A and B are shown apart, each in its own frame.
Chain A
Amino acid sequence: MRKASLALLALIALPGAAFAETHGNVVKALRPQLRTFDEAGAPVGQIASKDLKLPAPIVGYGKGNSVGVKHGGGVVYLRGLDVQTDGKAACAPVQSAARAKSSAYAATNMGLGGGCERPQ
């Protein structure tokens, strides 16, 4: 019975740990109040940074690469700007659409290039 519990615990914990290892943790809040969103980007409200238990494993990413962490029994999504993470931010290039020949100067070139996707 005890061995079975341990096995069950391992089954539950290991995937989460592996995910956290992939995506890292939120290790520091950079603002006293953190704006929170749902996965689709709808504003949920704000939480005090002291209410966030740190380090908080990143459990997923929402629209626009918002950072998902567990809070209050659910997952809230934070702005990457408001928190500091320990994950290495590798970025997968996104194939960008080809521009028509002789088109005017493209805005992407004046900025930081094409899109970016977090490796899932």
Chain B
Amino acid sequence: MISAKSVLKAIAVSFVLAGSAYAVSKIDLFGLESNSDRLADHVYQRVTAAEYGKARKGQQAVSVIYVDETSVETLKGFGWNRFPPTFDQQWLMLDDILNVGGAPPAAMFMDFVYLGQGGVAEGFDGFLQGIAGATRADVWADKPGCRTDPLIKIACIVEAGGVPMIFAKPSPADLEMFTEAQAAMDRVAVLAPALVAEDAYPLITSYDFDRAKAERLGVARFDISPALAMYAAWCVRRADGCGIAEFQELKRRAKAALAGGEAASPTFAKVFDAPLDVVWGSRPDPAFLTMTQAVSGHPAPCRTGAATWGDRLAEQMAGLRGPGEGARQECPYTLSLGYDRLVAGHGLEPQDLERLLAGRLVMVGGHFRASSDWVESPVHGQVPGVQFHAMALDNMIEQGANYRRNGEALLDSDLLESLLVAALAFCGVLGVMTRNNLLDKAKATGMEPRLRSAVYGPLYIVLFATSIGVVSFATWLGVTVANRSPINWIGITGVAMGFLFYATRQTLPADICGSLERSALARRLLAWGRLCFDSLKFEEDRLLPVRPPQTPPSIPIPETKAVPESPAHAQS
């Protein structure tokens, strides 16, 4: 039925279309393609956010302690009469977090950068001593093997019985500076570059600096992001090393390094081979809701979000979702507590503090409205940067080495999407050709009106639905099986639908009308609509006194008309 020439023609058409789509995506005119990519990812995440982290493994492990404008005002009652607070007060904050949970956290990340550019401030030495005591720097700091790279340093701290304390720093690739204050902190703690891109959270950043430059910038062969640093601290504490052999090896090497041997961390490049594409969950931690009620006296001022993907799909209509502010915004995913609430202790029971801090991965950061450290989350809208790090860490705990890779960073996703467009176009062209061949034969045998009404409408529905189904399946497959960020399903569906409508533009209206005319349901709906219209008209006429009375309308039954023959069927 389909000749080889037709197949070749379909291939040619599909590749022309795919080539055009590829060129458009690469040119990225006005940023339309990249924005479309981002929108496709955001909508996918919003719809599927309730499916993330059902076992709550990440929520059980990660907490955020924040400071915001309200905290600073409240903490004036506890001697914070300036901001930033004194080093003594800053250390007290860290000391509180280390101690009040009943057991120390598994690791801490401070999303504050200490550059010491104003000179070494009063109390800085005490601050350093406090950190050194927490990390047990007296055990590992003089061992060269423990200072080879940040991963083995973390493993050494854990092996020495300390709490890994990770501090933010600017990336040496962005800011070629390593101050005395940073060098001092690097001797007793771990520094991690914290300025990360929203669309690709880096895990390992390798540097090609020569030895002199690397020493000047205080970097090893590579740096690790805060989320990976915290995850490493989590995994080296676990007997199974999170199921990653390299973490087991890291533990062994840390022991050797503490014994005075030369050591470096094993290569993690294969395990963490691409940046993380942060997945946001929508179900808040139940502890967050109860603690909010306890410390503030009212329920959390946010919504807990729809529970199923179907409900969330319906929510995508902006009218239902609303502007996404106030009580209509979704609650934060990670359990979060203001430091001022911790200090005041009001409404908190010891078990709350234990739940929040003991053995947890605690991230400390600012929620200041006036700061620029906010990122755009597809599920929650604008969120403070520390919540972004916390969510990235949550992803790693939930998914381990199978975390969702950023598609753009791995391969040419535009090429893959163009190939999908080609496949869809090929099938679409063949489908249209088949339809036209059928029409030709039907005309020859005089069966055309019946065939058109019975077959072609459903054929189009199948054709279009299949295209949408293929795109949906490819999106789902890429995310769940290949652990990649979703393809640009909005763009691909748009291109495929546009092409199909274009290819069938001359015959589609007549075919659809023919099928509708044959449909009993459509006929009934038509009759019902006419009845309603006539009744309304009758009521209107009855209320007008000047008009002569009219007889009630009869209920007409539409006659089945023959489908007008189309002038000519289209060749695609």
Contact = CB atoms under 8 A, between A and B. Distances in A.
Interface of A: 30-31, 35, 37, 40-43, 62-66, 77, 79-81, 83-84, 89-94, 96, 99, 101-116, 118
Nearest to A84: B350
Contacts of A80: 343-346
B338 interface: yes
A120 B69 CA distance: 25
B78 A79 contact: yes
Contact of B346 (A83, A102, A116): A116
B534 interface: no
Interface in B344-387: 344-348, 350, 367-369, 374, 380-384, 387
B380 to A, nearest CB: 6
A91 B295 contact: yes
Contact of A65 (B300, B325, B346): B346
Given A79-B343, A93-B296, A110 B77 contact: no
13 contacts: A41-B80, A62-B77, A79-B345, A81-B345, A93-B297, A94-B297, A104-B381, A105-B382, A109-B326, A110-B383, A113-B301, A116-B295, A116-B297
B66 A41 contact: no
Which 6 residue pairs of A and B lie closest in terms of their CB atoms, listed nearest first? A64-B77, A80-B345, A63-B77, A91-B297, A105-B382, A105-B381
B246 interface: no
A81 B343 contact: yes
A102 B292 CA distance: 24
B163 interface: no
Nearest to A119: B297
A118 B74 CA distance: 13
A64 B341 contact: no
Contacts of B99: 31
Interface residues of B, number: 58
A84 B71 CA distance: 21
Interface stretch (B220-228, B265-273, B328-336, B561-569): B328-336
Nearest to B323: A102
Nearest to B297: A91
A93 B298 contact: yes
Contact of A112 (B75, B77, B295, B381): B295
A116 B347 contact: yes
Contacts of B288: 112
A116 B75 CA distance: 14
B505 to A, nearest CB: 40
Interface string B51-80: 000000000000000101110001111111
B159 interface: no
Contacts of A113: 292, 296, 298-301
Central interface residue in B80, B297, B336, by most chain A CB within 10 Å:
B297
A32 to B, nearest CB: 11
Central interface residue in A40, A77, A91, by most chain B CB within 10 Å:
A91
Given A81-B343, A104-B382, A105-B383, A66 B297 contact: no
Contact of A105 (B291, B299, B329): B329
Given A30-B100, A81-B100, A99-B326, A65 B297 contact: no
Given A105-B325, A105-B383, A116-B346, A111 B77 contact: no
Nearest to A79: B343
Contacts of A35: 78-79, 92
A81 B96 contact: yes
A90 B346 CA distance: 8
A40 B26 CA distance: 62
B78 A41 contact: yes
Central interface residue in A92, A94, A96, A110, by most chain B CB within 10 Å:
A110
B368 A107 contact: yes
A109 B288 CA distance: 11
Central interface residue in A77, A99, A106, A109, by most chain B CB within 10 Å:
A109
B7 interface: no
Contacts of A31: 99
Nearest to A83: B345
